[in-house]
């Protein structure tokens, strides 16, 4: 094996530079190299999940940013739910960028995801990579109607680590992004590019992070190793945990990390997978009893069992510097993709069979659920397996109907006629939202007599000029509409006041004077509601009826 210095010298050599520029008829460069002061990543490379020697050299003079503010550094407002991997999924997202053996793994995954997994496969890559993906997926038996392409040049295959991480904001999907813990600029920028492609907002959490060092349940408990602390030395553990709570509404436990001699990434997804609200699979180390990794796994298993989890165990093994794991799985609806290996020691020890039996027991709890093995020998030597090369895109909560979330204003307030009030919202759909209506209610949402904007652009912002009306029960609503005419809406969570001229005859404050007002007054009068004291003399009697009738006849 070459030393780090030798690998760095090779990466900086004229041969490597010439190969990258197409000047020599040599095999393509498969590792990053530096040219003209830039870190270059060849297409279809075999770059490991861990840092390469050249990347370590680069980081010595080009450190990762601390507080990243590329996107929106403000946490999302309103109800937030971070999607767990075992919840309903619309798609699995992959980067078609790797060696032939690694791309064969992606093809096998895609065939199962689009058939047994009943989900779309989102393929990110250049046009040539998309063409190769189409051929490979077709040959593998994928349902090609479920394959969607996104034209973007990635640095590596390891999309789990650079994102995007999904949340629901209200009933709409949104993305939480982080600074990728690798100097892979195109990978790091991908979530910021992908969000606008899907018309989904992107919130930028101020953490340096690799997404594989994270697991969570749908109940909001999440887990990461101490790697997160080492990557963010200016933050305390409570501050790190607070960031995740503010952006993803989770309560995070930070566990011990494996020694780098066992796992160079120190990511939790190499030895743990949460598969249900209170169900987890954790590696066991029958051939490494008492080792550091065995202790970490046993201690975490005990702690999670004490927290109410059903804990399942599956074998793992470290052989010649390779961490063979059966926890690095991909869950997609009723499908669970399980790695299998051809290493002779692994095969002879029966670990593939033991792992399959363990996962069948844990996962196949209904006839619809299936465990499918995928040969991952071609990628496991690069410090990652299937979970590391797949990212989950949760299903839209509205199904085929759009959803909306009114971000602001969304609380009680007092507005005067003529005030300019910024309205902001987000929407979501299984395909896309065509336009939105913005509406005003004066009776807590019972009716919507005032249209602020009809079939307006779904750009998320509108300046509303408050009309000359009076209501103490005003609310706003955004109605999203897709190309098929399906609609969904969200209205403000609390009544607000429009402090316009009050018309006593408009008893229900809907902006109109009609029989509904007489009925509303009569009901209030019969129930001795203080609002029925029209003449404000402290009593509710016939004088109030006469006063209301006078106002009604006069109109407004």
| pLDDT over 70 (residue 384) | yes
Tell which phi-psi region holds residue 536, choosing left (phi > 0), alpha (psi between -120 and 50) or beta: left
Other CB atoms within a 10 A radius of the CB of residue 88 amount to: 14
Q: What are the pLDDT digits (tens) for 125-168?
A: 999 999 999 999 999 999 999 999 999 999 999 999 999 999 99
The model's confidence at residue 526, banded by pLDDT at 50, 70 and 90, is very high
Alpha-carbon distance of 416 to 55, in angstroms, equals 58
Question: Is the separation of the CB atoms in 171 and 490 below 8 Å?
Answer: yes
Q: Both tokens of residue 175?
A: 């993305």
Mean pLDDT across the stretch 248-254? 98
pLDDT value of position 70:
60
pLDDT value of position 6:
44
344 by DSSP, 3-state: which? helix
pLDDT value of position 510:
76
Alpha-carbon distance of 394 to 408, in angstroms, equals 25
When mean pLDDT is compared across 53-67, 227-241, 255-269, the lowest value belongs to 53-67
Which residues contact residue 519 at a Cβ distance below 8 angstroms, ignoring those fewer than 6 apart?
none
Sign of the CA dihedral with 539 first, then 540, 543, and 547 last: positive
Q: Both tokens of residue 30?
A: 């498969």
Antiparallel, parallel or unpaired: β 251-255 and 221-225 = parallel
DSSP 370: E
Mean pLDDT across the stretch 235-245? 97
Mean pLDDT across the stretch 383-406? 98
Q: What are the pLDDT digits (tens) for 434-468?
A: 999 999 999 899 999 999 999 999 999 999 999 99
pLDDT value of position 506:
86
Question: Is the separation of the CB atoms in 336 and 328 below 8 Å?
Answer: no
Closest CA to 170 of 519, 492, 456: 492
Strand extents, DSSP E, 190-270: 202-209, 215-216, 221-225, 251-255
Q: Both tokens of residue 311?
A: 């804990």
Question: Is the separation of the CB atoms in 390 and 160 below 8 Å?
Answer: yes
More confident residue, 19 or 415: 415
What the chain holds in terms of domains, given with CATH numbers, is 4-61 (no CATH), 80-394 (3.75.10.10), 403-502 (2.60.40.10), 512-556 (no CATH)
Mean pLDDT across the stretch 180-208? 96
By percentage, how much of the chain surpasses pLDDT 90? 84
pLDDT value of position 71:
63
Alpha-carbon distance of 55 to 261, in angstroms, equals 19
Sign of the CA dihedral with 380 first, then 280, 332, and 165 last: negative
Sign of the CA dihedral with 512 first, then 516, 519, and 523 last: negative
Residue with tokens 């029925």: 532
Q: What are the pLDDT digits (tens) for 210-220?
A: 999 999 999 99
Sign of the CA dihedral with 233 first, then 236, 241, and 243 last: negative
Alpha-carbon distance of 84 to 395, in angstroms, equals 11
pLDDT value of position 511:
72
pLDDT value of position 210:
97
165-169: strand order across its sheet? 80-82, 165-169, 172-180, 202-209
pLDDT value of position 552:
86
Q: What are the pLDDT digits (tens) for 61-75?
A: 999 874 444 667 899
What is the end-to-end Cα distance of the chain in Å, rounded? 89
Q: What are the pLDDT digits (tens) for 1-51?
A: 344 444 444 444 433 433 333 333 333 458 999 999 999 999 999 999 999
- What's the whole-number average pLDDT of the chain? 92
Q: What are the pLDDT digits (tens) for 481-519?
A: 999 999 999 999 999 999 998 888 888 877 778 898 989
Alpha-carbon distance of 338 to 343, in angstroms, equals 16
pLDDT value of position 20:
37
């Amino acid at each position: 094996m070459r030393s780090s210095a030798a690998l760095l010298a090779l990466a900086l050599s004229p041969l490597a530079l010439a190969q990258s520029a197409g000047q020599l008829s040599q095999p393509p460069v498969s590792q990053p190299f530096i040219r003209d002061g830039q870190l270059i990543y060849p297409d279809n490379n075999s770059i490991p999940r861990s840092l390469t020697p050249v990347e370590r050299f680069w980081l010595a003079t080009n450190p990762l940013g601390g507080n990243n503010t590329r996107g929106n550094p403000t946490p999302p407002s309103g109800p937030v739910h971070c999607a767990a991997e075992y919840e309903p999924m619309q798609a699995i997202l992959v980067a078609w960028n790797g060696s032939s053996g690694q791309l064969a793994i992606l093809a096998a995954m895609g065939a199962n995801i689009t058939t047994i997994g009943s989900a779309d496969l989102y393929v990110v890559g250049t046009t040539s990579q998309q063409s190769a993906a189409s051929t490979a997926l077709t040959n593998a038996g994928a349902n090609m109607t479920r394959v969607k392409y996104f034209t973007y040049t990635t640095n590596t295959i390891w999309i789990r680590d650079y994102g995007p991480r999904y949340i629901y904001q209200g009933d709409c999907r949104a993305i939480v992004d982080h600074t990728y813990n690798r100097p892979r600029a195109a990978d790091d920028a991908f979530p910021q590019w992908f969000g606008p492609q899907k018309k989904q907002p992107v919130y930028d959490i101020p953490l340096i992070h690799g997404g594989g060092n994270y697991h969570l349940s749908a109940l909001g408990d999440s887990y990461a190793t101490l790697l997160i602390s080492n990557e963010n030395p200016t933050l305390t553990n409570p501050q790190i945990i607070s960031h995740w709570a503010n952006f993803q509404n989770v309560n995070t436990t930070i566990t011990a990390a494996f020694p780098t001699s066992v796992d160079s990434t120190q990511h939790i997804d190499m030895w743990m997978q949460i598969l249900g609200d209170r169900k987890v699979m954790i590696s066991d180390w029958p051939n490494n009893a008492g080792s550091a990794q065995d202790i970490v796994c046993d201690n975490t298993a005990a702690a999670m069992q004490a927290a109410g989890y059903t804990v399942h165990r599956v074998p793992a093994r470290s052989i010649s510097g390779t961490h063979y794991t059966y926890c690095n799985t991909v869950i997609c609806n009723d499908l669970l993709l399980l790695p299998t290996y051809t290493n002779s020691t692994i095969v002879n020890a029966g670990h593939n069979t033991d792992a399959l039996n363990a996962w069948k027991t844990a996962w196949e709890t209904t006839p619809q659920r299936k465990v499918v093995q995928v040969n991952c020998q071609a990628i496991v030597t690069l410090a990652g397996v299937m979970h590391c090369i797949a990212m989950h895109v949760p299903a839209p909560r509205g199904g085929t109907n759009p959803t909306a979330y009114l971000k602001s204003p969304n609380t009680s307030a007092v507005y005067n006629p003529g005030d300019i009030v910024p309205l902001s919202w987000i929407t979501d759909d299984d395909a896309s939202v065509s336009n939105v209506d913005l509406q005003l209610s004066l009776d807590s949402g019972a009716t919507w007599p005032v249209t602020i904007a009809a079939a307006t652009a779904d750009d998320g912002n509108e300046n509303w000029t408050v009309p000359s009306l009076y209501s103490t029960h005003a609310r706003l609503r955004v109605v999203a509409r897709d190309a098929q005419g399906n609609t969904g809406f969200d209205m403000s969570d609390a009544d607000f006041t429009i402090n316009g001229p009050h018309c006593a005859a408009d008893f229900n404050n809907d902006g109109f004077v009609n029989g509904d007002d007489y009925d509303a007054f009569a009901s209030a009068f019969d129930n001795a509601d203080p609002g029925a004291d029209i003449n404000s003399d402290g009593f509710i009697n016939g004088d109030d009826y006469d006063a209301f009738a006078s106002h009604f006849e006069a109109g407004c």
